[in-house]
Amino acid sequence: MSNIGIKVHNGSLELKEILRDTSIGNLYLGQADCLSLVSEILSTLNKRTKLYLCGTYTGRCDLKLPASLQGVSLFECECSSEWLCSLLITLSSYAHIEHCLLDNVVLRPCEEARADDNHIHLSDLRSDILSRDLSNIWISVENGSIELLKRLRDIRGLKVIDIDNLKKNLLRDKN
């Protein structure tokens, strides 16, 4: 089943049990709720090579990814800086991750009520991420905000490609 991809828009407990220990190659989760539903079985999907995420993600990213995973794509997502940093930390622990695509990803501002608490957690995450070797991860950003690009470029060792600027430069060079 490694050549099969599955799109999940609204999951259920039954679906989670059906997917457990399967060898599907690609999994597309259309909402953050779907990810929380299947997050405990992600690591059991031992042939999956790609994970596609949509939705809104906040807090820390505590995904346990399968050993076979080679790429993660976020499409039309809103996420907190804390979630994105912790995702990159998680990906850095997998030496075989090749690519992370961020398409229409928007960083959500920290909640005002917990701004001090968020700042402390984010500061800890930034320290942690700076101590990691991220040289194996390529990040492609398409339709990304300036804030997102700045945050990613501040991370030492991370290879960031701004696809929009790459397209503009290619078009300019053609003319």
Query: What pLDDT score does 121 carry?
Result: 66
Query: What pLDDT score does 113 carry?
Result: 38
Q: For the chain, which domains are there?
A: 5-174 (3.80.10)
Splitting the chain (175 residues) into consecutive groups of 10 residues, what average pLDDT does each group show? 70 74 76 77 77 85 80 88 86 78 83 48 78 84 83 81 73 67
CA gap 23, 64 in Å, rounded: 16
* Residues 61/86, Cβ–Cβ less than 8 Å: yes
Q: Specify which residues 7 forms β-bridges with.
A: 28
Query: What pLDDT score does 125 carry?
Result: 79
Q: Specify which residues 26 forms β-bridges with.
A: 5, 50
Q: Where do runs of H (alpha helix) occur along the chain?
A: 13-19, 32-38, 81-92, 115-130, 146-153, 163-174
Name the amino acid, one letter, at 122. L
Query: What pLDDT score does 112 carry?
Result: 41
What sign for the dihedral angle of Cα 123, 136, 141, 32?
negative
How crowded is residue 76: how many other Cβ atoms within 10 Å of its Cβ?
13
